[in-house]
Every structure is written in C-alpha cells, then in structure tokens.
Amino acid sequence: METALITGASTGIGKELARIIAEKGTNLVLVARSLEKLENLKIELEAKNKVSVFTIALDLSEANAGLEVYEQVVQLGLEVTYLINNAGVGLYGEFYATDWERENTMINLNITSLTQLTKLFLKGMMERNRGRIMNVASTAAFQPGPLMSVYFASKAYVLHFSEAIGYELRDTGITVTTLCPGPTISEFKDTASMGESRLFKQKGIPSSAAVAEYGYKSMMKGKSVAIHGWKNRLLASSTGFAPRRLVLAIADRIQGRSK
C-alpha cells in the first residue's frame, strides 16, 4: 500500500494535505514537534478512512533530524511513495535586529532537513523507479524580501533545488513539484511574528485547505512549479523582467509595516 510522509502535518497546509491524502486511502507518516496534535489527527484520519497513520514527533531543525525520521520509517517497514517537505517557518523584521537563533533554526528547518529528507527518501524511489516529491516553497522564492530576508532566500533555495533535481529525474518515474503558496490562513503569520505586516491584511487570503488541494493536484500531475492563485502567478512571473530595484521596492511595499 502507498505511504505519504508529510512534515509539518500538525497544523495549516500540512494538516490539510494529510486529510486529502488519507481520503484517497494512502497511509501516512506525520511529522512535526507537537505529538498531541499529531496523535489527534491520527485518530481523526483513521476513524474516517481505511488507512494506517504513524506519527513522528521531532524537531526537524536539530542536526540529522532527517536521518532520524528516515531510520524510524525504515524500522516501521514502510516505503514512502510521496514525500512532502512542508514544514517551514518565517521571521519578520530588519535583519540587523532579528534573532540569530530563530534564523539558524529556520535555515536548518527550511533548507537542511528538507534537503536531507529528499536525499534519503529519493534512494528508495530510485530503486523502485517510482515516487512523487513535493517541496513547499512560497511566492517568496521569486524575489528578495526586505523585512524577511532569510525566509525569502530560504524559499528561493527550495525552489531552485527542487527544480534542479526534478530536471535530473526527468527520465525516471519520479516527479518533483515545488508548491508556492502566497499568503495563506494558518499558524504561519503568528509564528513568523508578522502581526505588523501589511501582507496578511489584504482581503481574500485563501484557506490552508484550498492551498493543500491545489498542491495535491499539482503533485499528482507531476507539475514542476505550482504557484497558487492567479495574482501570485502574475507577480511571480513579473519579477523575471522587472528591474531588480523595482522588484525590491515592490516586495518591501507588500511586506511593509501597516500604519
């Protein structure tokens, strides 16, 4: 039976992806730090669907956390068909003033553990010549982001890394999708300390469920880059030809503190 591993499955987009995938009858491995939230989700998903759900409560920003997850999955005797690297955090503020510990955690989570998990699970997928990987980046991946400089740069890494390995794998049975959400309703805004930002004050911000549905469909189609929402797609494509200075000014304006 197929198994999907989702990081950051305790809330937001990851939790909704778990709900969608369980409905398809696919077993799940749910990873995040909050054991209680994961266990509650496991109970919900197993009650509603004919699936087995396994939980791994772990801080993915710790060194070699990806290896720890991989070893636990091997011990469970599971073969991961779908790897969804969704866990990620942001941090708002001028770089000179932000906290290094939080930035270091962000880099370890958004970049290092995502890369290690991809490397480890890709091996088995290569042997079976079958699998789908979805890495969650952001519309932040398409330009530098004043006031969230490290976060934007981390998501540019996720996009470029995922596109590159997707290309390497083009003649295999494995696809790599980068999901790029714009602002989405979840815990993200609060954990990133974005209370003052204009970004989340706009109308029509989509739910995590809507973004997850779009992400799931894009992954199943094997789409390389999946940007959620037409406005986000327009903005992302415009950064390619607009002058860098203008791109920075627009990003600053969108991200800026609301009066």
Among 3, 10, 197, 218, binds ligand NAP (CB under 6 A): 10
The whole-angstrom separation of Cα 197 and Cα 111 is 24
70 is catalytic: no
Q: What sign results for the dihedral spanned by CA atoms 9, 14, 17, 21?
A: negative
In the region spanning residues 115 to 174, those forming contacts with ligand NAP, defined by CB under 6 A, are 136, 138
Residue 178 in tokens: 């980068």
| Using rule CB under 6 A, residue 14 touches ligand NAP | yes
Rounded to a whole number of angstroms, the minimum distance from the CB of residue 194 to ligand NAP is 9
User: What residue has token string 């906290």?
Assistant: 99
Q: Which is nearer to ligand NAP, 32 or 174 (CB)?
A: 32
Region 52-91 residues binding ligand NAP, contact defined as CB under 6 A: 59-61, 86-90
Return the residue of 17, 21, 69, 109 that touches ligand NAP, per CB under 6 A. 109
Nearest approach in angstroms of CB 240 to ligand NAP is 19
Per annotation, catalytic residue among 70, 151, 157, 214: 151
The type of residue at 113 is S
DSSP string, 127-182: HHT-EEEEEE--GGGGS--TTSHHHHHHHHHHHHHHHHHHHHTTTSSEEEEEEE--
What's the rounded Cα separation, in Å, for the pair 59 and 51?
Answer: 25
**32 belongs to the binding site for ligand NAP (CB under 6 A):** yes
How far is 63 from 56, CA to CA, in rounded Å?
16
Residues of this chain that interact with ligand NAP (CB under 6 A) are 8-14, 32-34, 37, 59-61, 86-90, 109, 136, 138, 181, 183-184, 186-188, 191, 208
Could you list the active site residues?
151
